[in-house]
Structures are given as structure tokens and as C-alpha cells.
Structure 1
Amino acid sequence: MSQPPQPPQQPGGFGAPQEPPAGGFGAPTPPPAGGFGAPTPPPPAMPPAPPAQPPTAPAYGYPQAPPPGQPSAYGYPQTPPPAQPGYGYPGQPQQGYGYPGQPVTQPMAPQGPPGGPGGKKPSTQTTIIIAAVVAVALIVGGGVWYAKGKDGDKKDESKSGSTQGADGGKDGKEGGSTGGGGKEQAPANVASKVLFQVPQPKVADLVHVNGSWLTDKVYAKSGVNEIVGYDSAKGTQLWKLPLPGAVCAATTHVTSDGKTAIIYEGPKASGEKYARCTEVAALDLATGKLAWTNSVKDGDRKAMYEEVTVGGGTVATGGTSGGAAWDLATGKLLWQPKITTDQCKDAGYGGGEALVAVRKCGDYDNPTVTIQPLNPKTGAPAASYKMPAGVQYAHIVSTKPLVVAADVGDTAGDGSGISDFFSIDDKTGKLLARIPAPGDKYAADCDSTEVEKCTSVAAGGGKLYVPTEEHDGAGGNGYSGRTNEILAFDLATGQPVPGKADAGDGSSLAPLRMDGNNVIAFKKPPYDKGSQIVSVDGGSFKQTVLLQNPADTSVRDALSQFGPEYGEIRYNQGKLFMSATLLSKPSTLTDEKKYLLIGLGTG
């Protein structure tokens, strides 16, 4: 589970506000010469430069005990590495999508995968061989798991020759729901075309552009000191919302009537060099207007916030001063930061169908972390679960079902922020199962400190869906291309569910979200094909292609600028939007065209 490092933040938040380019984004403009998509022809392929030789691949498969003594590689944001892999060529390890602004890599002799942007340290060759053999045996035999008993002790169990069905329960009646119940259906023609694209605006420094949302009619994306709403089918600009500063944080949750929430920089206070992330607002995606904007005092100035969510009709924010919340409809303050005498505070919240707090108490270096489902109107906890010792940060994967990820004792060792998943009863606070997810085997990822910023993982229908790390394909030697699988675990017992979704040689799968009891996943393609959006049936693991992107080189190269871990991917009813979260000064080493966003669709 490798996490791309983030650049250091400027003092006081996101740095000095950047001026938008002349004219702003305006209506989406056709790409200049050398762009992609009809009617402009694509540019000739650039000769890439060869990457450095990567280390050997880690083992993969069902979970084993986390490797002892591995140091944690995450913590404070780091500067992005200088080289960007593309989709890959035969014999080239698939390394994800890389970082914006990096050159495309050159095909090379087959090697193992890189350590990844999270700084993962590979095991020795002997360990790799043994672990790979064990992993294959476990996949055939049904897997190994450990669940948390009433006494809180880990219990190792194994099971082979299971009679359970593909849905994880006998005759589909136990161990979680079967698949189905989703709204996404494959169109008659799944082939997509580029609907529109917006070039990256010129900036003089690193600029955060967090936030993108997709409804039935509108795709909205944050830019430089603004948010712009586009017609999701035509690309015409519907509205533009200028802001006094950058969008510091944005929730992915959107209500049924198109409301969401953001945090943005307020005006610079007297004597301050940088603006601060103090303004909390509700955004109406249909009109592009802020329904309300509020802030709270922290001593003699406004409190700063790092993250925001929406759950149960409440907008909740988290920061170093503690949590605060407002009514989504009216903007009424429901509660505000309060640090108790025992140094307890809400560090942040998970939203969606419910509202769940991550509460921290005690010493900064050795805190007590508690998970609390809340009454969203009062903030009163309905239940409470105390995380194990050694957890500094907890991440909400889902509020219904309630699933939490954490790196216990800094044992993940790969910068992913995850060594274990915790399935919790949201009514009683009882731990249902603790599911180990060693970082060298699984590719889910959570931001090092934020409560609600996990990628490549999904939970629903009684199951947790996690992708494995990439490994050699059927050929076993790199020539067949790197690949991975999505595996599932029963949230009631922690048991691995028989079956898997295979990406296929040269491809890899990353869960994006749930759709009923099915999983919507992004499939990264081999070097000569286009990426896909697929629906993975939660019972049978059967994959249905919902959208097939063009295999044209110019389109594939453009889409390679975005990825599940560091870009924003939004899919709904035959439309896919991929966008950047961080803009950087144009490189003088390449003339590669950079994009703020790209939209594709089957319509």
C-alpha cells in the first residue's frame, strides 16, 4: 500500500493565494495544437527516458501477520519524486500513474516493481520466494485470517476446502450480502470518447486544487481561487464561483439535492504573510452559489481547519483546535472546538450516511484514539470504540458499515497508513473483526493524518474490498505484465471471502466506491489498451465493463497524469472525470501538455 508523498505546505496553510490566469477557465476551450481528442490530431509520441532499475516485487495474497519491526514511512509530507511512469510497455513494471509534471518512462528489460512513492522497503529475495509460495497456497486453500475475540486477543485460524459460496456465506445466507442492487448499468456501447478537457492553468508555485463533484447534470472542479461548474455532457461552463483564496479541503460527499461542503482561505489578517484555511461553506452544485459561509473563533483569531465532511445533514470540520459542526441547510453552529482538561478533542469526522468522530486524548506522541458514532445534530456519541495502543491516527473508510483503518505501532512500513482494518458495530461500539492488511501485500492507502482520505478500498454489503499490490502476471517473469486482484473480507467475522476479481495480465484494479452491493473500480490498462471502469459483482466477483476508454496514445498519455491515489476520479452513469489535486510550475524539461481535468463519456 504505497502512498505518494505530498509536498510541504507553506506556513499558515496553502500558501499565498495565486492569481487565476487571464479570463479564468471560462467555457472549456478546445486543446491547442498537440492536444488530444477530436477534431485535433494527436502529437507524435515523445521518446521517453529510461527509469532507474526497480527492486524486486513483494509477495501478495491473503493477509499474514504484519512483518515485525518495520518502520513507518509516513509522517510529514514529502516532496514528489522526479520521474513519472506511464501506462507501461511489455516488460516494463506497472507503477501506477506517477506524479503530474514528470516525464514518461522508456521501455526496459523486465524488472520487479519499484518500492513505490510511499518509500516501501522491499524484502530479501529469499523472503519474497517463500512468501509468494505461501500466498499462492493460501489463495487456493481459502486463506488465513485473524479476528478479534471478546477478550480483545487475536485468534489465528485457517480454513481449507470451504463449502461457502462466492458471496462468503452458505447458500448466500451468511457472511455478508450477495452482489447486485447497484444503479450503474453497462450501456449498449461502452466505448467512450473525450467529452472535453481543461488545460492546467499556469502557476508560479505549487497550488492545491482540492475538490471535484459529479451529479446527473453538473461536473464541478476547483481551480486557482475558484470553482467552476460544467455541463457534464457538453463541457459548457454553467457557473463560476470566485473565491478569495485556495480551496483547502473538500468533501467527496454530495447530498441527493446537490449540496456539498468546502474549506477555503479567508482574507489575510493584518500582519500575516499567508492566508489561513478558516472559512467553512456549503456549496450548491446546481447553482454554483455558497448557501452559507461560517467560521469560529480560536482565541483572538479564527480557527483553522484541515478537513471537512458531510453526514446526517451536518457539515463537520476537523483541525488542530478540535472539531466543529454546522447544520447543512441553515448554517447554524451546532458545536465548536472544545479541548477538555484531559486534552481530549475531535480530530476529525467521517461522513456519508452517518457521522463518526475520531477523538484523541492525552499526549501528542502517545494518544488514546476513540471512534465515536455521533448524533449529527447534537454531537453526542451514540457508541464508542477505543483503538488499540500504538494508534496515532485513525481513518474512516466507511460510516455505514463502520470500517476504520489504522497503522498499529507503525508496522505498515510502506507509508500507506494501514496495517489493519477494524469492523465496528456502530450501535454498540463493539469490535466485530480486526482484519490485518500488511502493506507489502495490499494496495489500499490512507492519508497519513487526515480522518477521511482513503483510496483504493471500499466497504459495503457486509464486506471489505481491498486490492493486492501489483505482482508478475501469469508468465511470472514480468514479460506478461504486472497485475493484481481485488479480494474481499467478511466484516462480521474478518474471514476472507472465497473468490477474487482478477485484473488480468498487464492491468490492475483499484476500487473507487460501492454501488449497492457491487464495487465500481478503475482498471489501469496494459501499454496498448485504454483504461476501463468496471463493476465488480459483490457476490460472484464477475466484472462488467461500464466504460472503455480510447487506446489512442494521446488519450492514454493524458489520462496517465491522474490516478486513484493522487488524482480525483469521479464516475456516474457513463461519464468519467479525472482531475488534478496539485498544480505545479511547468517543467522546462518537457513540452508535455498538462491538464486540470479530462472528461470522457459513452453518450
Structure 2
Amino acid sequence: MSFGPPASIYTESAQSADKIRTRRRRRLLGGAAAVVAAAALVIGAVALWPASGDDPKNAAAEVKQASDEVRETHERTPSSPEGELSVQHNEEKLTSDTRYGPGLWATEKLAVRGVATRLEGYKIAPGYDETAWSLELDGHICATSRDMTADHRTAVVIQPPHSGASAGKGVCDEVVLVDLDTGKKLWQRKMPAADFAYVTNTNLALTKGVVAIAWGHGSVAYDMASGRKLWNTSTGAECQDQGYAGGRALLALVKCGQSGDATYRVQKLDARTGKPRWTYQVSKGVQGVYLPSADPPVLAVEAGDIDVTDLITLDGANGHRAATISMSGYEPLCGSVGLAGPYFGVLDKCPGLVVGQDRLYVMSKESTEIDQPADRIVAFDVEKGTTAGKFEGRPFQNVVPLRADGDDLVLYRRSIDTVQPAAVVAWNSRTDKETPYLLFHLPEDDEGALSDPERTQIAYEHGHVFFARREMERDDKEAKSPVLSVLGVGPAGLKH
């Protein structure tokens, strides 16, 4: 069986992509769309919640982590939720082709994102746009990790130019480790026997001291400190690693066979050796599997459908099934997420789903009723699979889960007009308590796209929320106008 290269995504029209993608979460706002929103970022409506000081539970000391562990942070409740613009960067000189922006990370001082063939760090400071550093890579970004280390390092896979037989085939066979504080390239390695690693099938994950990459026809892991190869799998084996989920553990998705006869298993690996510690065999007939979390282990499966039908939670100690949760009525958004194909590594990324230590939170499908909440986020007990609370959106104001923080879920709720702002909220499913973190308005022309997790990467870190477009395309009527790339909001009056 031959495996030809996919069409290059870097020359594909975004208009063409729009025709074949499914906009599952977009809808018209009807009469609400006639309300005039702020033309620029406007702050207000702080009185919708009472002012709150530091919450003792969130004022606890940060978890002490080794520098090479995947970063875990905890948020403090701000003294006031009033927000202000802290990052805004526009892409200049766009061509008529789509410019892709894979990857979004945030530290205390910088927002970092990938754009085409480079990584850029933007200073978090109100009032102006400042690029702290820009790192030109040796090719287009093919895959990113959702994580960084405690000392702010991450890795990307790139597509360098090739000569000879590999020329023009779009092979993604080099991995780069980068310091996100400085933009310095720490090491770069050529992946072994990666002739069939493409932007459509390459997945990348980080765990303590290890960078692991798989592309369905081979895999490799590197020591994070030195770039030394730790292990790799044979390209001729019947069963191949499709990709990994990282963080506190390393979870592998293994596929055996091809097409309709394929079967899957999930393995927890010893990250330094690649040897499995336990194996969970996925039922036959499943069409696809995603790994939204390695610890606790959570699988999102497509059982007889092209969409995720169920979540399966496993016991992290032995891999035994703990619970199965039906996704009927829910939108975990695993898979292509608004793009025309599974680009940049999708195996561990489900922007409609967040997994905490003993709760998982999933976004519901949208309601079409004008007087009903636009959607809701439902919490489930990871071990039992039972519902454990729900957070309702508001009419025309969708809610999106962003990250777990201890017992809290940090979520985003979109705005609707100049009166009802967008919000970042911490919600405790045990007590049903809501704590406002930020209140703000997004620019009117960009609000719809920025609030859609299929079109925009949304992240909350260190008291700031960041929005980074997955694709950027110029307006042909104003071809020379810059296009918004990334926007951040932080607490008003905070000294940076």
C-alpha cells in the first residue's frame, strides 16, 4: 500500500477550506446582532458580580515542580475583574493564501504563538504591541505540543526543505526544542525514517524530561535536556504508534491494521524506554480514538460514527476501564477543529473538553431556542462517569471550558453587546460557586471568530486570557490591511 503526501496546506485557499469544513458551532444571533458593540476593546459591567478579594484556596503556594516537568499553574482571584487590553498583534503583508497559526503558549511575561515558519513572543504589557523575540524556523510548523515545561520550554515539528526523492513531498522530519522566554533554539534533530511524517498525521507530546513524536508509520522519543534519542519504533511493524498524550504521564495510541479492519489499543508507557506499563484494548468497530488526557487517562472514541460518541475513563494504575460517558448532546470538538484537515497534531487536543484530576468538563451542543442558554458545560465524575454539576451559558452567550485549576474549571463566556461583557469565570462544580476573573469586550469585528474555539485557540494563564486565530486571511477589499493574529486581556491597573 502506498502512502503519497497530502496536498500542501500552505498554499490552500482559506475560502476553499471554508466550503468543506463543518461550522458546527456557528449560528446567527438574529435580533441580537443588531445591537451595536464596541468598536474597540471596551471594559465595563463590573457590577454584574460583587468585588472579590483573594480566595484562600487559590492563594496557596504554587506546586513545586522540577524544571523538566510539564508546567502546572494555579490562579489567584483578582481584586477586581475589570480587564484591559494587554496584548494585540497583527499579521502584516498577508498574501491571498491562508496563513496558519498553530500553537499558543503563555508565560507570566509573554504570549507566544506559532505562525507559518516562525515562533514569536509578544510582551504582555497594556497600551502597545511589542514583539519580544522572533525565531525563524527551517520550515513550516507541522505539529505542536499543547504543553510547556515548568521552565518554559516546548517543542515543535517542522517541515524543512528537501532535495532529491523527498523534494516537494512535504515531509515533516525535524523536531526543535525552544526556550519560550528567550526564543532561543536549544536543539534540533532529524527524526529517523520519517519519510511518511506529514502535517496531517504527526503528533507531538511532552512529559517529564522527554519529547515524543509519532506519525503512524514510526515514532521517536528524545531526552529533553540533551536531544539524545531515547527510543524509536520500527517503520515496518504491523502495529504503529499514532501519537501520544503527555503531561504527568505518557499515553500512546497504537493502531493495528489498515482502513476498516483497524483496531486500537492504548498504552501507558515508560517515557524513558518506550516500554508499556499497561495496555487497554479498545473495542472492535471503533473508527477513531483521541487522547484528551494522560493522567487521568481519558479516551474519546468514535464508535460507528465520524464524531466522538463516547468518553472512556481508565484507572491510571492498571488501565482498567472505569467509566463510559455518552457524548450524545455534547461537543468535545476532538479532531480537525475548524481546519480542512487534521493539521498540526490533533490527537490530544479537544477544545470542547477539559480534564481535571477527578472531574472532566465537556461543552454541550448549541441550543437553537432564543430564550434558552446558548449552551452549557457539564461536569462528570472521572471515576464513576456520573454527572457532577452544570454551568449554564446565557441566551446568545456560549460558554467554553478552558482549563482545570484544582477543584475549579476556568471557562470563557462570550459577550453579546456593550452591556453584557465577555467573561472568564472560575466555577466550582462541587459548590456551584462562580468567581469572576475577567470582564471585557472584544473588538466587534473579531468577536465572533475569537469566541469560537474551532477558529481560535483560547488560553488562560497567570490572570490573562489570550485569543489566537488558527487561520489568518487578508480581506481582498483591503489587501494591505493587517490581520489580527493574537489578542490578550489582563487585569486593569496591574503593573507588568
Pick the TM interval, shorter chain. Answer: 0.7 to 0.9
Shift of 1:359: 0.5
**1:394 counterpart SS class:** strand
8 A Cα contact 1:87 1:560, kept in partner: no
Partner letter of residue 313 of structure 1?
G
Alignment partner, residue 240 of structure 1: 134
Alignment partner, residue 31 of structure 1: none
Alignment partner, residue 439 of structure 2: 548
Structure number, greater radius of gyration: 1
Query: Is it true that 1:187 corresponds to 2:78 in the alignment?
Result: yes
Instruction: Say if 1:401 and 1:512 are closer, same or farther in 2 by CA, change over 3 A.
Output: same
Shift of 1:400: 1.1
Query: Is it true that 1:79 corresponds to 2:20 in the alignment?
Result: yes
Task: Output the CA distance in 2 between the equivalents of 1:569 and 1:186.
Answer: 19
Instruction: Say if 1:182 and 1:256 are closer, same or farther in 2 by CA, change over 3 A.
Output: closer
Deviations 1:510-537 (A, max 9, x none): 1111111211111122244331111111
Query: Is it true that 1:487 corresponds to 2:378 in the alignment?
Result: yes
Task: Output the CA distance in 2 between the equivalents of 1:396 and 1:210.
Answer: 19
Instruction: Say if 1:241 and 1:574 are closer, same or farther in 2 by CA, change over 3 A.
Output: same
Task: Output the CA distance in 1 between the equivalents of 2:383 and 2:411.
Answer: 23
- What is the 5 A alignment of 1:22-101? 79-80=20-21, 88=29, 90=31
Q: CA RMSD in A?
A: 3.1
Alignment partner, residue 364 of structure 1: 259
Query: Is it true that 1:598 corresponds to 2:479 in the alignment?
Result: no
8 A Cα contact 1:486 1:501, kept in partner: yes
Shift of 1:483: 1.9
**1:254 counterpart SS class:** coil
Query: Is it true that 1:310 corresponds to 2:200 in the alignment?
Result: no
- Determine which of 279, 283, 293 is the counterpart of 1:384: 279
Query: Is it true that 1:223 corresponds to 2:115 in the alignment?
Result: yes
Task: Output the CA distance in 2 between the equivalents of 1:496 and 1:590.
Answer: 49
Query: Is it true that 1:199 corresponds to 2:90 in the alignment?
Result: yes
Instruction: Say if 1:16 and 1:80 are closer, same or farther in 2 by CA, change over 3 A.
Output: closer
Partner letter of residue 579 of structure 1?
A
Instruction: Say if 1:265 and 1:16 are closer, same or farther in 2 by CA, change over 3 A.
Output: farther
Instruction: Say if 1:591 and 1:331 are closer, same or farther in 2 by CA, change over 3 A.
Output: closer
Query: Is it true that 1:433 corresponds to 2:351 in the alignment?
Result: no
Structure 2 portions without partners, runs of 5+: 35-71, 337-341
**Normalization by structure 1: what TM-score?**
0.66
Alignment partner, residue 581 of structure 1: 470
Partner letter of residue 79 of structure 1?
I
8 A Cα contact 1:306 1:317, kept in partner: yes
Alignment partner, residue 407 of structure 2: 517
Instruction: Say if 1:493 and 1:418 are closer, same or farther in 2 by CA, change over 3 A.
Output: same
Shift of 1:423: 0.5
Instruction: Say if 1:503 and 1:232 are closer, same or farther in 2 by CA, change over 3 A.
Output: same
Query: Is it true that 1:331 corresponds to 2:233 in the alignment?
Result: no
Shift of 1:587: 3.5
8 A Cα contact 2:87 2:124, kept in partner: no
Query: Is it true that 1:504 corresponds to 2:399 in the alignment?
Result: no
Task: Output the CA distance in 2 between the equivalents of 1:592 and 1:524.
Answer: 26
Number of residue pairs aligned between Structure 1 and Structure 2: 433
Shift of 1:85: 5.9
Task: Output the CA distance in 1 between the equivalents of 2:84 and 2:27.
Answer: 20
Alignment partner, residue 443 of structure 1: 331
Task: Output the CA distance in 2 between the equivalents of 1:83 and 1:408.
Answer: 19
Task: Output the CA distance in 2 between the equivalents of 1:503 and 1:546.
Answer: 16
Instruction: Say if 1:548 and 1:232 are closer, same or farther in 2 by CA, change over 3 A.
Output: same
Instruction: Say if 1:13 and 1:318 are closer, same or farther in 2 by CA, change over 3 A.
Output: farther
- Determine which of 162, 165, 173 is the counterpart of 1:278: 173
Shift of 1:593: 6.4
Alignment partner, residue 565 of structure 1: 454
Same amino acid, percent of matched pairs: 26
Structure 1 portions without partners, runs of 5+: 1-8, 19-75, 94-180
Instruction: Say if 1:265 and 1:567 are closer, same or farther in 2 by CA, change over 3 A.
Output: same
Alignment partner, residue 159 of structure 2: 265
Shift of 1:229: 1.0
Instruction: Say if 1:289 and 1:409 are closer, same or farther in 2 by CA, change over 3 A.
Output: same
Instruction: Say if 1:578 and 1:10 are closer, same or farther in 2 by CA, change over 3 A.
Output: farther
Deviations 1:533-555 (A, max 9, x none): 1111131232211111137xxx1
Higher relative contact order (CA 8 A, sep 6+): 1
8 A Cα contact 2:119 2:135, kept in partner: yes
Deviations 1:180-201 (A, max 9, x none): x982233122121222322233
**2:445 counterpart SS class:** helix
**Normalization by structure 2: what TM-score?**
0.80
Alignment partner, residue 320 of structure 1: 216
**1:598 counterpart SS class:** strand
Alignment partner, residue 65 of structure 2: none
Deviations 1:293-323 (A, max 9, x none): 1122328x58556221111221111213122
**1:557 counterpart SS class:** coil
Task: Output the CA distance in 2 between the equivalents of 1:91 and 1:526.
Answer: 7
**1:560 counterpart SS class:** helix
Task: Output the CA distance in 2 between the equivalents of 1:590 and 1:302.
Answer: 36
Instruction: Say if 1:443 and 1:197 are closer, same or farther in 2 by CA, change over 3 A.
Output: same
Alignment partner, residue 64 of structure 2: none
Task: Output the CA distance in 1 between the equivalents of 2:385 and 2:249.
Answer: 23
Shift of 1:561: 2.5
Shift of 1:236: 2.2
Task: Output the CA distance in 2 between the equivalents of 1:536 and 1:10.
Answer: 45
**2:304 counterpart SS class:** helix
8 A Cα contact 1:506 1:527, kept in partner: no
Alignment partner, residue 69 of structure 2: none
**1:561 counterpart SS class:** helix
Deviations 1:472-516 (A, max 9, x none): 5xxxx52x365222112222122222x321223332211111111
Shift of 1:324: 1.4
8 A Cα contact 1:219 1:232, kept in partner: yes
8 A Cα contact 1:208 1:581, kept in partner: yes
Task: Output the CA distance in 2 between the equivalents of 1:425 and 1:436.
Answer: 18
Alignment partner, residue 268 of structure 2: 373
